[in-house]
Amino acid sequence: MRELDEPIPPLEDLFRRVSADQVSCGIVQSNAVRLPAVSVNRSKYADGRSVLTRESSQFNGVAALRGERLLETHPSPNGIMYEVYCLDDPLEHNVAHANVLVGRVDDKRQRQGHKPSSKAFCEVLKTAIARSMHILIAPRAL
């Protein structure tokens, strides 16, 4: 396994597999995002197809995002500021792995992220992350 390689450059592409029910009219939907962490592969270590696996055949599309699109902060309904950021997380079986995370701006648990308790606010964050993605390989319905 490789050493952590941070920070992830803002112009580096990050790849995520998506299914046909997670894309509508070429736009990635919020159901493609899980909080507090979204698993992605880094383009520095792998190409977009690296996220596709035979075990998950319904996830046959690839979406990409860039770290520069994650730099916004989002105020929660109770005034707590949340940020979306990406951290390198190489795995033994996937050295390209990283996580897009949501967390409180002032939180010390940066590597784990923090899922807000408000379902409505989670949906706002998931939509913001999804809208920062673009489709590289369109998924097909099975």
20-35: pLDDT as tens digits:
999 999 999 999 999 9
56-75: burial string, b at 16+ Cβ within 10 Å, e else: eeebbbbbbbbbebbeeebe
pLDDT at position 3 is 94
Determine the average pLDDT of the residues in 8-17: 95
CA distance readout (Å), 55 to 9, 52, 120: 30, 9, 32
Determine the average pLDDT of the residues in 3-21: 95
- Residue 132 scores a pLDDT above 80: yes
The runs of H, that is alpha helices, within the chain are: 119-131
HSE-up of residue 83 (Cα within 13 Å, Cβ side) = 15
pLDDT at position 109 is 64
Domain ranges of the chain: 13-137
Q: Which residues contact 110 (CB under 8 A, 6 or more apart)?
A: 85, 87, 101, 103
pLDDT in tens, 41-81: 999 999 999 999 888 889 999 999 998 878 789 999 999 99
HSE-up of residue 86 (Cα within 13 Å, Cβ side) = 29
Region of 20 please: left (phi>0), alpha (psi -120 to 50) or beta. alpha
Phi, psi torsion values for 45, nearest 5 degrees: -115, -10
pLDDT greater at residue 110 or residue 48 = 48
pLDDT at position 29 is 98
CA distance readout (Å), 6 to 23, 44, 86: 30, 12, 9
Using 50, 70 and 90 to split pLDDT, how confident is the model at 142? confident
